[in-house]
Amino acid sequence: MSSELSLFEEFNTPVEVPTQAVLTREAIIAETKRLVEEDNELEKEQENIERRHQEILVRRFEIRVQIGTNLLILQLGHANEKNGDFTTSTIPEVGISVNKAYDCMRVAKLVTQRLRNTLPENAFSGKVFPWEVWRELARPSTDETVVTQVIEGTVESTPKAIKEANQRVKELKEQNKQLQTKFDFHQQYAQQQEELLNAKIDELEQELTVLSQPQTIIEEKQVIPPETLEHIQKLEAEKDKSSDHSADVGKMIQDVKEGENNE
């Protein structure tokens, strides 16, 4: 048998109490009722304390945002007047530490400037975050995407969760940057290849146009003036006559030689 009592056995097993502590039923009921009432009062008090704590968080947030806003205005005026270092001259006058002052200024800028263009006007209503969460959200290194996700509730509102989400966003942006670089390279290469192909197509089309045109074949003929041609013909005739005469003379010489031999 198990050493542990079942729920039924546990609450149906008589409790052994010392003899001097034994009270009557009426006394036990009265004592228990008093304790229940006290517990109820403490519960209400605790709820009031928690409610008051939330109210304090909200009010302190509002106060610090206003402090930061005032300091931003003072910083702008200080820069225009060029009266030394704002950190050492103006901040000490309001009785706040430098770190807290810049925390308030960053949070004020986050709420009143950075997020107004990306979130609706009532985005901060009911948002009660610890001050360390607001400080983490307001850091310049915290990405706007992470800030929006925390405000919308998709990222847990703790400094650790914010840092982890911010790191993931940075890694994704770096991956996207590398992919964009590769895409731009391949796109540029494709455009260059397209230009080369278009130039080659234009060249081939020009060659095809030339080949498709009718070709005129010109036969070269020697053109001789009529006077020259007539002169040439006369010369050729005279040449023929001279040849015939030479042949006659040659024949006569041959006959003479043959006659001499016969004698």
> pLDDT value at position 164?
94
> pLDDT value at position 254?
66
Three-state SS letters, the chain:
CCCCCCHHHHHCCCCCCCHHHCCCHHHHHHHHHHHHHHHHHHHHHHHHHHHHHHHHHHHHHHHHHHHHHHHHHHHHHHHHHCCCCHHHHCHHHHCCCHHHHHHHHHHHHHHHHHCCCCCCCCCCCCCCCCHHHHHHHCCCCCCHHHHHHHHHCCCCCCHHHHHHHHHHHHHHHHHHHHHHHHHHHHHHHHHHHHHHHHHHHHHHHHHHHHHHCCCCCCCCCCCCCHHHHHHHHHHHHHHHHHHHHHHHHHHHHHHHHHHHHHC
> pLDDT value at position 117?
62
> pLDDT value at position 252?
63
User: How far is 205 from 211, CA to CA, in rounded Å?
Assistant: 10
> pLDDT value at position 259?
55
> pLDDT value at position 1?
46
Residues of the chain with pLDDT under 70: 1-22, 83, 115-127, 213-229, 231-232, 234-263
Distance (Å) of CA 234 to CA 117, 222, 227, 231, 245: 111, 20, 11, 5, 16
> pLDDT value at position 240?
66
> pLDDT value at position 125?
55
pLDDT tens column, 39-59: 999 999 999 998 898 888 888
- The answer to whether 143 and 169 have CB atoms below 8 angstroms apart is yes
